Chains A and B, each alone.
Chain A
């Protein structure tokens, strides 16, 4: 079958535009990669280049100089991400399902309560006091895990998604004698895979990228998650520009420009590879939500 002339033209234009956008998106990332592989002196002298003048892997060497530390941090982050995402999905989907059931009498008022909390927040200090003084979670993994488990936004998203599952499915299962939990586990969850994937990705990303909670609550180096460990390496540079610099010993070295870039690559690496695997569900989830809303 021959395509029409206009289709071909459209395709050509489409490819060109998409290529330009792709290049625009990829260029900064490429600069980071090339920067991380450059020699430090080249960057100080001439700034960043698209192709490294003198190829060097010193930056990666110095990040992995102390590999145990990085691997411990990787382990912390991966466990937190897996555990947090699984537990978070379970809780969020249960909440979303219950709120979507029409025979649950107080669903509107409850949904309102949940929604209400998105309008304002207590702020940093009450949050800190709650976690440190009342829950006693300072320097405890719970402080990293629990607060991120459920968010009002995810629950609402889940509830709306669950609404699109026909109620007759629940009814038919009931007639066949299934209990509420079986219905949820055996019927609703499989049907909700696109929604679960979407929210799972949100949760996974937020656990993977979270450094702030660790910044506030974790004080033992072996408990640092990856993002915070690497951010910490960068933060020491800023201190050199303040009055404190006079106190620091001559062995205190600021991280080099190339090191910053290498750090960025190491942190983004694994999560970038996750995208292609979940993208399938992700796209489907978005469209299903949109059509049936």
Chain B
């Protein structure tokens, strides 16, 4: 018996040893091959890169393919094969757990030649970890036009430690939060024009009392939270930073935990009255249904959307729900400025294990700058998915096609979007053009998003703070507590106990470092 046990133990240890050894070997291997693949570069002759070798590139986009994608890629590859002796296999992550898959693609060392990259897909994190190939040297050689085309400040967004890690899209976007609301009802019930917080309150009050409709019938968290942030000009730092915010755009170094401010106190008191008036249902935090769905069935009136989202929502309503008229109020009007998205809000990058980075860049250069390539890949097959009308706008699907069978082409083409080749959609919501004109003169650069924090030193405290935020902060914010004063006091003391000060200190330190480097006040 004892002998057998001993044997078993030895076996276990041997197995463990063997596994580690194998793992170590594997690690060494993949590192080696990675270096090798980036080393073999195409020789350049007469400034014209050599394309004599036929290459198949492996590209990845997030999201879903369109029904017609195989057909589009076939046509596209015909063009490519003629011009660059290259074909592209276009892969999609689909939206099912796309973050996990995106992560695996970049960390496993898979041979991917081009991938969609974005600040909302953790571009800064992956770039810092070295998942992307440094393009600084390659760009002027293999994508000279793109290199000139992309504005200086967009290159700055993707430059980390003096190295360029992605090609941002060239399409300035404004995505301030706001609300869409039933404009026809507003006139019907004689509510004032919506231009500030009081008029929003008045509008919802009248919707509730006259139309007898709960204004925000679904989950109202986004509506209230974004309204709060924008009304008080509290800015998120480096993505969603929870209760830690910069006090205002003008004072980026003034980092605070907002639950301890008087603004917060006033706000939750006001929200308590809103909740009591029945602006949203009392189970609003657990409802999964979007408030927008209720607008379509005449059982809701208000829905949070950023500007492009609102444009999409209103275009859909105009097309499919005749008789409903929507209005839009962007929260940017509270403080009269907008922050355009970072250049790298959408872009393309080359993973470090790419087999043919040079060729991949040349294809992207074609895609961005050659109209034929751009339109085929972005809008699909002309005469099938779309035609261009006399104003240069897209009509989809092409007239004469059955809309049930042929739909407008759409894939995650955001990464290579360029304004010079971009075409608007003919049945877009016309209000968006006016809004963009409104935003252009009041745009101010995004100084908060590039602050990259991993919260490593304060991980435990952050988890505890988020827990308190969810358990006590959200119901308080939604006015769902019986006694506001007591709830505020309780919330604050629990935040303190969870270690909010440590988190605050960490963020403050990171912000200071960043502000020094950027030369901010």
Contact = CB atoms under 8 A, between A and B. Distances in A.
Given A45-B297, A129-B109, A248 B96 contact: no
A124 B104 contact: yes
Contact of B96 (A138, A221, A235, A250): A235
A240 B428 CA distance: 19
A232 B96 contact: yes
B96 to A, nearest CB: 4
Interface stretch (B139-147, B407-415, B439-447): B407-415
Question: Dominant SS at the A interface?
Answer: helix
Given A247-B414, A249-B410, A250-B311, A44 B306 contact: no
A235 B414 contact: no
Most B CB contacts (10 A, CB to CB) among A129, A139, A253 go to A129
Given A44-B299, A139-B91, A247 B346 contact: yes
Interface in A31-78: 41, 44-45, 65-66, 69
Given A221-B65, A249-B410, A250-B311, A232 B109 contact: no
A176 interface: no
Nearest to B61: A219
Given A231-B96, A238-B95, A245 B104 contact: no
A179 B286 CA distance: 66
Contact of A133 (B109, B306, B315): B109
Given A44-B293, A44-B297, A250-B428, A128 B104 contact: yes
B67 interface: yes
A221 B94 CA distance: 10
A237 B104 CA distance: 23
Contacts, number: 105
A243 interface: yes
Contact of B97 (A215, A246, A248, A252): A215
A227 B104 CA distance: 22
Q: Which of A41, A211, A232, A246 has the most CB of B within 10 A?
A: A246
A245 B309 contact: yes
A280 to B, nearest CB: 37
Given A228-B96, A232-B64, A221 B69 contact: yes
A139 B110 CA distance: 13
Contacts of B408: 249, 251
Contact of B91 (A125, A219, A232, A241): A219
Nearest to B407: A251
Contacts of A238: 95
A249 B312 contact: yes
Interface in A182-227: 211, 215-216, 219-222
Contact of B289 (A44, A221, A251): A44
A70 to B, nearest CB: 12
A122 to B, nearest CB: 9
B30 A244 contact: no
Interface residue tally of chain B, by bracket?
35 or more
Contact of A45 (B65, B107, B299, B306): B299
Interface centre among A216, A239, A240, A243 (most CB of B within 10 A): A243
Interface in B271-322: 289-290, 293-294, 296-297, 299, 306-309, 311-313, 315-316, 319
A243 B95 contact: no
B428 A236 contact: no
Contacts of A152: none
A173 interface: no
A248 B66 CA distance: 13
A132 interface: yes
B457 to A, nearest CB: 25
B175 A129 contact: no
B267 interface: no
Contact of B110 (A69, A138, A241): A138
Given A216-B101, A216-B104, A66 B96 contact: no
Contact of B297 (A41, A215, A239): A41
B321 to A, nearest CB: 11
Interface in A56-105: 65-66, 69
A44 B104 contact: no
Interface string B45-77: 000000000000000100111010110000000
Contacts of A219: 60, 91-93
A218 B60 CA distance: 12
Nearest to A138: B110
Nearest to B66: A221
Nearest to A222: B70
Contacts of B69: 221
A246 B94 contact: no
A67 to B, nearest CB: 11
A159 B429 CA distance: 67
A246 B104 contact: no
Contacts of B306: 245-246
A29 to B, nearest CB: 21
A213 to B, nearest CB: 12
B30 A133 contact: yes
Interface string A113-137: 0001000000011001100110000
Contacts of A252: 312, 410
B404 interface: yes
Contact of A232 (B95, B296, B429): B95
Contacts of A220: 91
Contacts of B425: 249-250
Contact of B308 (A139, A232, A239, A246): A246
6 contacts: A112-B8, A132-B108, A133-B30, A221-B65, A222-B70, A250-B429
Given A219-B60, A232-B96, A246-B307, 7 more contacts: A133-B109, A232-B64, A232-B94, A235-B95, A235-B97, A238-B95, A254-B290
Interface of A: 41, 44-45, 65-66, 69, 112, 116, 124-125, 128-129, 132-133, 138-139, 211, 215-216, 219-222, 228, 231-232, 235-236, 238-241, 243-254
Closest 7 interchain pairs by CB? A219-B91, A250-B312, A250-B315, A235-B96, A246-B308, A235-B95, A239-B95
